[in-house]
Amino acid sequence: METKEAVLRRYFGYAAFRQGQEEVVNALLSGRDVLCVMPTGAGKSICYQVPALLLPGVTLVISPLISLMQDQVESLTQAGVRAAFLNSSLTPAQYVHALRNMENGQYKIVYVAPERLSTEAFRAAVNRLTISLIAVDEAHCVSQWGQDFRPDYLKIASFVESLPQRPVVGAFTATATKAVRSDIAELLQLRDPLCITTGFDRPNLYFGVQTPHSKPLALLELIEQRPGKSGIVYCATRRTVEEVEALLNDKGISATRYHAGLPEEERRRNQEDFVYDRKAVMVATNAFGMGIDKSNVSFVIHYNMPKNLESYYQEAGRAGRDGSPADCILLYSPQDVRTNRFLIENSDPNPELDPDTQEKILQREYERLKYMTFYCTTTDCLRAFILHYFGEKSEAYCGCCSSCASGSALIDATIPAQQALSCVARTGQRLGSAMIADILRGSEKERILQNGWNRQSTYGLMRDKEEWEVRRLLDALLVQGLLLQTSGQYPVLKLTPAARTVLLGERKFEMRVPVAPEKTAQNDGDG
């Protein structure tokens, strides 16, 4: 039998597996299910195509994306692999023909749309075959909490179950929060899967967050520091796109714009101007970027905070595709949080889902927004923060982000942590962070006096601290999992079980704080 390296070379022309690919291939070959999370472009297809060529029988790849199926089948066929797809792009006659070929063992890899699995004809055909491997592409579609929920994905588990012999199952996705990951494992009924998350790190990207007094000034400064460089400025709304583009052009910066409100003709023209370097800067909403392959984007600036880290990382990741150093900088203001809350509250519910599910989806949106906000306010390494969010391990210090570059120190904050936790406990775990900060700082707000919180033993313990210092402490307690913040319109702080160990003095609490000079728009440049 050929080795996996030989298959990789012969059919795909690659000399070596990338990080993570080999582990996935080994697991599938040994019969172990896999849950593989890798970003787009990291090389997920190799992970199931190589085992497909080494295992006996046929591999089914379940995918919702018709154009992707066609591309993959085309390139597999060119590489000499017998492959086909079964989806709605085929005429009934072509479909029957492909199905018959599959039954006759003509194909090694068959791509199939999820809705085909439950059809009579398809079931009859697969029952006569040995299916060794089922690869579920875009596996997050099985989760109702994701944006791309596909009810047909829920039928995959019973399809697998109905086969004469259970094949090994690999689930693949580019984005999955912890909750979605556990949904995938459960709903696809994976058996003791190897869970692997890799490839999210982009070492050539610098990550920065600024909280400037004036976003327009900060933006101009950032762009003027990069004369002639190609970059994208993402804005939250169409109106902001218009304003920012006008601002840049006023200052003589070569900029164009893109958002869904523009006529198609103008969008196409502006996009080409940017892609062919006739305009240096593209100012756009998140409508811009899908399917655009421009490798020399040297910065991506977010003028507003996106609603979650998945979106942020996808958009920021459009910088530095060619591997040369590039900057991803986010201009944060607390107003961004309110805007996003408003957008989440007013988003159109999916009419196919019951109210209960819709409510849960909403809660998860708030949850994700919370982590996006933490990213903007943390003093920890930003790269580490992103990688941890996506479930990947990393060093605590990368040296190439605004936190690492600004110089920070790890301090022992056990005592203030105990004070804050105990304040949350004594007020009944039903207050938000602003109120907790007020109580700790000894505010005389009416609500505090009315409720007698000024008689709590923690009242005023942080009288000598600035509000932002107390907020930073509360943020650190949240990020490190000692406090949790409920979702919804009026989030409140609660203690987690881990808080007990700090309250009892069994555990130290350390946090990273910037050392002078403090982060400002002026000295927190591009690093």
Where does this chain bind ligand ADP (CB under 6 A)? 14, 17-18, 21, 38, 40-46
- Which does residue 38 bind out of Zn ion, ligand ADP, none, counting CB within 5 to 8 angstroms by kind? ligand ADP
Q: Minimum CB separation from ligand ADP for residue 195, in Å?
A: 16
* Residue, CB closest to ligand ADP: 43
Q: Is 330 helix (H, G, I), strand (E, B) or coil?
A: strand
CA distance 427 to 443: 15
CA distance 170 to 19: 17
CA distance 61 to 59: 6
DSSP state of 303: S
Cβ-contact 29, 2 below 8 angstroms: no
Q: Minimum CB separation from ligand ADP for residue 71, in Å?
A: 9
95/153 with CB nearer ligand ADP: 153
Q: Minimum CB separation from ligand ADP for residue 46, in Å?
A: 4
- Which does residue 381 bind out of Zn ion, ligand ADP, none, counting CB within 5 to 8 angstroms by kind? Zn ion
Question: Which residues have C-beta within 8 Å of that of residue 458, sequence separation ≥ 6?
Answer: 419, 420, 422, 423, 426, 439, 440
Residues 393-412 that bind Zn ion (CB under 5 A): 398, 401, 404
- Which does residue 401 bind out of ligand ADP, Zn ion, none, counting CB within 5 to 8 angstroms by kind? Zn ion
Q: Is 383 in the site for Zn ion (CB under 5 A)?
A: yes
Q: Minimum CB separation from ligand ADP for residue 221, in Å?
A: 35
Q: Is 35 in the site for Zn ion (CB under 5 A)?
A: no
For residue 485, what are its two tokens?
């913040």
Residue given tokens 């992707």 in the structure block = 68
Nearest to 275 by CA among 302, 259, 298, 295: 295
Q: Minimum CB separation from ligand ADP for residue 173, in Å?
A: 9
50/361 with CB nearer ligand ADP: 50
Question: Which residues have C-beta within 8 Å of that of residue 195, sequence separation ≥ 6?
Answer: 34, 35, 37, 181, 185
Cα R_g (the chain), whole angstroms: 26
43/212 with CB nearer ligand ADP: 43
- Which does residue 43 bind out of ligand ADP, Zn ion, none, counting CB within 5 to 8 angstroms by kind? ligand ADP
Q: Minimum CB separation from ligand ADP for residue 157, in Å?
A: 23
50/404 with CB nearer Zn ion: 404
Beta bridge partners of 302: 234, 330
CA distance 480 to 510: 9
Q: Which residues bind Zn ion (CB under 5 A)?
A: 381, 383, 398, 401, 404
